[in-house]
A and B are shown apart, each in its own frame.
Chain A
Amino acid sequence: MFDKLSKNVGNALDFPPDVSGNGPKITITGRQEVLVENYQDIVEFTTEEIRLSTLEGELCLIGQGFVLRTVLATELRIEGQLTSLTFGGGSDR
């Protein structure tokens, strides 16, 4: 209820989605570094694949030599060679 309200108010006031929503914010720098904010859990983690659960669905990162540089409760900094990034499942809001 509150999420929907804040999203509607955000839309009305023309706020950017990362401010008004709770979905993940993904910052990709080149192919070497990915910063994921507002994730929920690490579902799977190998050097080739990282799957994270977010409010927007499951975020899947495919690549090589993945290292979780810093793992914090709301922020995940990933290093490695990124090949693809896909979303799967989750609610389409």
Chain B
Amino acid sequence: MLVKFGPFWNGRIIFAARGNQLARFVNEGIRDGIVFFKTQKSERGLKAQVSIADFKRLRRAARLTHTRVHILAKYGWPFIALRWWRRKTLMAGILIIGLTLVALSQMVLSVKVAGNNMIPEEQLLQSAENLGLKIWVWQKDVDTRKIAKALVEEFPDAAWVGIDQQGTQITINVKEKIRPIVQTERGNLVANRTGILHELMVIQGTALVHEGETVKAGQVLIEAPASLDNASAQPKPGVVSKPNPTLPQAIPAAKGFARGRVWYTAEATVPLSEEKIQESGQSAKGWGIKISDRVIMITTPESPFEQVTKEVKTHTYSLGRNWHFPVEILSVDYKELETVHLTRTKEEARQVAEKQARDEISSKISPGAGIIEEHVRILAGSADTERVRVETETYEDLAVYPNP
């Protein structure tokens, strides 16, 4: 590379010489101190390269030997520079464009805001501009850390502000605070299920429903006395608020209880015959080692069963907190699975369906609720299934505090 750079930097002239005394021409040139490069002879004469300074000195040798010399090509930086020098305006234009691009790349050309929902973008941009972050300013004059800190202080809804600079583009990334939702129902007693209200007792607050009324889940049953959160409620005269342990003491809460009847239904369909995959009780164990992602099983490399569920445990050994032994021990527990064909009588299928439906209802019923009545209805299904619906009526507490 450097060997090639020398001729390019100094410049070379490639010339052709014609005459009858070409060897003498070269000898005379050498005597004058001229260095010839890549000298080649062809039918048309001699072709060689000399440096720019040496070319002028060739004149004497050419005259002595009656040799005609003419230039074939000019190679190197001096000729390029001369060509550029002749086109000064073009070069000046290129230089100006280059300098302009360099200058523009040092400036801020675009400011964007990302991640804001509540804080208006215009306000953020205006504040950033007041702090010195705007377009057409030098990037070195923008102290992003200081501006980000100032923006966080200025906008209370902003939890974090980060300024990301990518070339000439600056992005203000905002993470907004997640404010707790103000509960308008705070302190009220509301119905946790849909049902018919049978008993209502108000200890504190105002009853908004009456006995015998159907209430929906979420409906306010007893409204809390007037407070900062619930200014519309009117406390009953003569009632003294007692502090509720589930709420801050400053907020008076509604007190009382509401009991009523609630209905639950669940349906289950059980086929008379079905294929079921279950564990057969057979099992096998194997162990191996694990190096990086590669697993080498020492015993029981393949599962001995056709259908199997596999439980793999890895034992890692570590020294201290950070260094882990690269080889881990694996233990694999194979449990055989088998497909069982179950055939049930109609009675058996009905019992299974009934149990499934009952289990579903039990999971929904509030703890402590008393079951008043229960109906099991056999529904019309297809010939090979049993369909059962269980309807349960309970008597339970309905009033709860929303999100206590």
Q: Indicate whether A27 reaches chain B with its CB closer than 8 angstroms.
A: no
> How many angstroms from the CA of A70 to the CA of B27 in the assembled complex?
13
- Docked CA distance A43–B46 (Å): 15
Question: Do A70 and B37 form a contact, CB below 8 Å, given A44-B23, A45-B22?
Answer: yes
B40: nearest residue on chain A (CB-CB)? A67
Q: Which residues of B contact A44 (CB under 8 A)?
A: 23
| Contact in complex: B38, A45 (CB < 8 Å) | no
Q: Which residue of A43, A67, A69, A70 is within 8 Å of B23 (Cβ)?
A: A43
Q: A41 near B: Cβ within 8 Å?
A: yes
A83 sits at the interface (CB 8 A): no
Query: Does any Cβ of A come within 8 Å of B276's Cβ?
Result: no
Q: Does A6 contact B (CB under 8 A)?
A: no
- B72 at the A interface (CB under 8 A): no
Are B39 and A68 within 8 A (Cβ)?
Answer: yes
Indicate whether A11 reaches chain B with its CB closer than 8 angstroms: no
* A5: interface (CB < 8 Å): no
CB closest residue in chain B, given A51: B23
CB contact list, B13-70 vs A, under 8 A? 22-23, 26-27, 29-31, 33, 35-42, 46, 48
- Decide if the interface of chain A is mainly helix, strand, loop or mixed: strand
Contact-residue size bin, chain A (C-beta under 8 Å from the other chain): 10 to 19
When each residue 64-89 of chain A gets 1 if its CB lies under 8 Å from chain B and 0 otherwise, what string results?
A: 00111111110000000000000000
Complex partner residue of A68 from B33, B36, B42, CB under 8 angstroms: B36
| Nearest-neighbor residue (CB-CB) of A40 within chain B | B27
Contact pick for A73, options B23, B30, B41, CB 8 Å: B30
Contact, CB under 8 Å: A47 / B42: yes
State whether the Cβ of A42 lies closer than 8 Å to any Cβ in chain B: yes
Tell yes or no: A46 within 8 A of B by CB.
Answer: yes
Count A/B pairs, Cβ under 8 Å. 47
- Alpha-carbon distance A34/B70, docked complex (angstroms): 29
The residues of B that contact A43 with a CB separation of less than 8 Å are: 23
Contact of A70 among B29, B36, B40, B41 (CB under 8 A): B36
Are B31 and A73 in touch, CB under 8 angstroms?
yes
Contact, CB under 8 Å: B27 / A42: yes
- Report which of A41, A42, A47 forms a contact with B40, defined as CB distance below 8 A: A47
Question: In the complex, what residues of B have CB within 8 A of residue A68's CB?
Answer: 26, 36, 38-40, 48
Q: How far is the CB of A74 from chain B (nearest CB, A)?
A: 9
Given contacts A42-B23, A45-B22, A45-B23, contact A69 B30 (CB under 8 A): no
**Of listed A43, A46, A47, A68, residue having the most chain B CB within 10 A:** A68
| Cβ contact of A71, chosen from B22, B39, B41, B42, cutoff 8 A | B39
Please judge, given known A-B contacts A68-B36, A70-B36, whether A45 and B26 are in contact too, CB under 8 Å. yes
Are B26 and A46 touching (Cβ within 8 A)?
no
B27 touches A47 (CB 8 A): no
Residues of B within 8 A of A72 (CB): 30, 35
Given contacts A42-B26, A43-B23, A45-B23, contact A73 B38 (CB under 8 A): no
Nearest residue (CB) in B for A80 is B40
Residue of A nearest to B25 (CB): A42
Say how far A24's CB is from chain B's closest CB, in angstroms. Answer: 15
Instruction: Give the CA-CA distance A45 to B46 in the complex, in Å.
Output: 10
Considering the chains assembled together, what is the distance between the CA atoms of A69 and B38 in angstroms?
4
Interface residues, chain B, with chain A CB atoms under 8 Å away: 22-23, 26-27, 29-31, 33, 35-42, 46, 48
Q: List 30 A-B contacts (CB under 8 A).
A: A41-B23, A41-B27, A42-B23, A42-B27, A44-B23, A45-B22, A45-B23, A45-B26, A45-B41, A45-B46, A47-B40, A47-B41, A47-B42, A67-B40, A68-B26, A68-B36, A68-B38, A68-B39, A69-B37, A70-B36, A71-B26, A71-B29, A71-B30, A71-B39, A71-B48, A72-B30, A72-B35, A73-B30, A73-B31, A73-B33
A45-B39, A45-B46, A67-B40 known; 6 new pairs, CB 8 Å cut-off, are A42-B30, A45-B41, A68-B40, A69-B38, A71-B39, A73-B33
